[in-house]
């Protein structure tokens, strides 16, 4: 029975789905078959996976998008996300993608041996990068906290977010898409409304809002792992490691402020020692930001407060607190049900 599904027959079925005007569903059908055969292979059955011979782009391609979320939409969506009936780790993964600006595939395939918790750096090997070069992501405190929770819940898998049925495989490509879809449904039911967006649009959101906040384009492009072209690329080999680390911490603080308190204006071109988030510096010169909800309520309780000083290396903000300890394993945490 399983041998009857060949790449040719699968492609023909996807084409029929596409003819109905459901290109996205056709791509999803291929993804489902891919995961079913991987599940079977993991149980020792030696059988070819017909979906591996078909690239998603061979089924359908989609127009380039220009969607970017506003601070108000970030507030609306991520508050609605708490009501989504999915694994808490999936909801955290969506936030992690926004904070780190990585591609969905780079996160899905990520393994724990790429994470250096001591230095706070995630190094994606060149084999997994679009440009064929290793890429460093400088992790904010919020991103580190999310990773600590994922580590506590990964059930020993080598992947940051293992699949629903098998820890030896990562989550499916469609899992995070479904979380976004259900999250938008929650927003719609609240009567607030939000335009559709994709996981990739989170990268565009970060780039757009950081540019609006006055950050250096070179720093942002390096965070996105976009390679320069032309003469400038030949002569500029800077990695901007310190600047990127500071900017990504600033970005995480902005996002957290928007999620908890709603949108606030940013200072365009703010200099060192000045927060780029309006209204965060008190008369005493100190900043108080609520720490990211690095773990869902069922794992940790309320987010913690931390005190900051406007004198330091993180875009003018030196973080005084340390990360909370990893959440203890509770019932509901040591699961592998990571698909929405």
pLDDT of residue 132: 78
Any alpha helices (H) in 82-174, and if so which ranges? Answer: 88-100, 104-108, 141-153
Domain assignment of residue 152, yes or no: yes
Is residue 329 situated within a structural domain? no
> Hunting for tokens 């079977």 — which residue is that?
40
Evaluate whether residue 336 is within a structural domain. no
Q: How many domains does the chain have?
A: 2
* pLDDT for residue 28: 86
Per the structure, the complete domain to which residue 20 belongs is given by 2-59
333 domain-assigned: no
pLDDT tens readout for residues 55-86: 988 998 766 578 899 999 999 999 999 888 88
Cβ 12 vs Cβ 56: under 8 Å: no
Q: Is the dihedral of CA 71, 72, 77, 80 positive or negative?
A: positive
**Domain limit, last residue, from 18, 39, 59:** 59
Are 301 and 152 in a shared domain?
yes
Whether 335 maps to a domain, the answer reads no
* 209 and 283 part of one domain: yes
Distance CA 191, CA 77 (A): 12
Q: Are 142 and 212 in the same domain?
A: yes
| pLDDT at 18 (0 to 100) | 87
- Same domain for 242 and 126: yes
What pTM does this model have?
0.65
Residue 269 region by backbone torsions, left for phi larger than 0, else alpha for psi between -120 and 50, else beta? left
Question: Are residues 212 and 191 part of one domain?
Answer: yes
87 and 218 part of one domain: yes
d(CA 179, CA 111): 21
Whole-number pLDDT of residue 60: 84
Q: Are residues 130 and 54 in the same domain?
A: no
What residues in the chain have per-residue pLDDT under 50? 235, 267-340
Tens-digit pLDDT profile for residues 169-187: 999 888 898 899 899 989 9
Look-up: residue for tokens 């402020």? 257
- The SS3 call for residue 270 is coil
Does 270 lie in the same domain as 239? yes
Same domain, 42 and 167: no
Based on the domain organization, do 228 and 275 belong to the same domain? Answer: yes
Q: Is residue 54 in some structural domain? A: yes
> So what's the pLDDT on residue 231?
56
Q: Does residue 114 sit in the same domain as residue 15?
A: no
Count helices and strands (H / E) in the chain.
Answer: 13, 6
Tell me: do 16 and 122 sit in the same domain: no
């Amino acid at each position: 029975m399983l041998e009857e599904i060949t790449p040719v027959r699968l492609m023909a079925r996807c084409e029929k789905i596409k003819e109905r005007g459901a290109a996205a569903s056709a791509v999803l059908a291929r993804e489902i078959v891919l995961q079913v055969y991987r599940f079977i292979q993991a149980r020792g059955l030696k059988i070819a996976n017909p979906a591996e011979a078909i690239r998603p782009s061979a089924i359908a391609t989609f127009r380039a998008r220009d969607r970017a979320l506003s601070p108000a939409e970030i507030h609306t969506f991520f508050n609605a996300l708490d009501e989504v009936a999915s694994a808490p780790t999936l909801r955290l993964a969506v936030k992690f993608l926004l904070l780190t600006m990585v591609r969905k595939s780079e996160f899905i395939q990520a393994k724990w041996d790429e994470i250096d918790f001591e230095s706070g750096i995630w190094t994606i090997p060149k084999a997994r990068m679009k440009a064929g070069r290793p890429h460093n992501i400088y992790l904010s405190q919020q991103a580190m906290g999310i990773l600590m929770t994922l580590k506590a819940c990964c059930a020993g898998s080598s992947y940051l977010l293992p699949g629903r049925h098998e820890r030896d495989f990562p989550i499916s490509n469609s899992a995070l898409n479904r979380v976004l879809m259900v999250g938008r449904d929650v927003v719609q039911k609240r009567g607030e409304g939000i335009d559709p967006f994709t996981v990739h649009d989170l990268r565009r959101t970060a780039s757009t809002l950081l540019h609006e906040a006055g950050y250096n384009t070179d720093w942002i492009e390096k965070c996105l792992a976009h390679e320069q072209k032309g003469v400038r690329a030949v002569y500029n080999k800077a990695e901007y490691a310190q600047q990127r680390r500071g900017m990504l911490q600033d970005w995480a603080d902005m996002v957290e402020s928007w999620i908890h308190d709603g949108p606030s204006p940013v200072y365009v071109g703010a200099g060192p020692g000045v927060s780029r988030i309006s209204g965060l510096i008190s008369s005493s010169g100190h900043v108080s930001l609520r720490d990211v909800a690095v773990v869902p309520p069922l794992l940790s309780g309320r987010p913690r407060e931390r005190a900051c000083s406007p004198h330091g290396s993180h875009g003018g903000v030196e973080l005084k607190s340390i990360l909370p300890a990893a959440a203890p394993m509770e019932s509901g945490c040591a699961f592998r049900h990571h698909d929405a």
